Amino acid sequence: MELTATDVAAHLRSNGLRVTAGRLAVYAAVAETGHRDTEAIATAARDELGALSTQAVYGALQTFTALGLLRRIEPAGSPARYETRVADNHHHVVCRLCSAIADVDCEVGVAPCLHASADHGFVVDEAEVTFWGLCPACQKTTRTRRAP
C-alpha cells in the first residue's frame, strides 16, 4: 500500500523528523515508478522541485528505509533500488538484459517464505529470492536478432 503525502508527512513528524519538500519529492519519485535507483529518483525529484542536492536524496532514502516507508533491494550487478511495497515479504524477477524488475508474490505464506536448511543459530525473519530471466520486451528483441 503506497502512502499519500499526508501519510508520509505524519509518519515523519511522529518520528520527530521535519517534513521537507525534498523528502516528499523523493518519496513521490519512488511511489511513481517502483524499483528506481538513486540516480533516477534524484532526477525525478529534481524535475518536481527544480533543485535538490544528491546528499538530500541519499539522506531521504536512508531515512525512509530506516522508518520502514521504503524497501531497498540490491539485485546482483545492479545499483540499489527502492520501492514502496514494504508491508509484505515479496520477491522480485529481474531481466538479465535491461535490468527491469517486477514484484513476485510470496507463494508459501508467512515470512520468511523459505526455511533455511541450516540457520547456524540465526533467527531468520526474512528471505530474499530473486528470479532472473528475460522480460517480454527483451524476449522480443532477442527473437528478432536471432531470426534469419
Domain 88-146 has CATH 3.30.1490.190: yes
- The per-residue pLDDT for 145 is 65
- The per-residue pLDDT for 89 is 78
> Which tens digit of pLDDT belongs to each residue from 60-69?
999 999 999 9
- Please tell me which residue, 119 or 21, carries the higher pLDDT value: 21
What CATH architecture is 5-73?
Orthogonal Bundle (1.10)
- The per-residue pLDDT for 119 is 79
State the burial class of residue 23 (Cβ atoms within 10 Å of its Cβ: 0-12, 13-18, 19+).
Answer: buried
Instruction: Give the Cα separation of 23 and 55 in Å (integer).
Output: 11
Q: 0.85 exceeded by the pTM?
A: no
- What letter does residue 131 receive in the DSSP assignment? E
Q: For the chain, how far is it from start to end, CA to CA, in angstroms? A: 46
Give the DSSP letter string of 13-44. Answer: HHTT----HHHHHHHHHHHHSSSEEHHHHHHH
Are the C-beta atoms of residues 26 and 107 closer than 8 Å to each other?
no
**Residue 58 pLDDT class (50, 70, 90 cuts):** very high
Where along the chain do its domains lie?
Answer: 5-73, 88-146
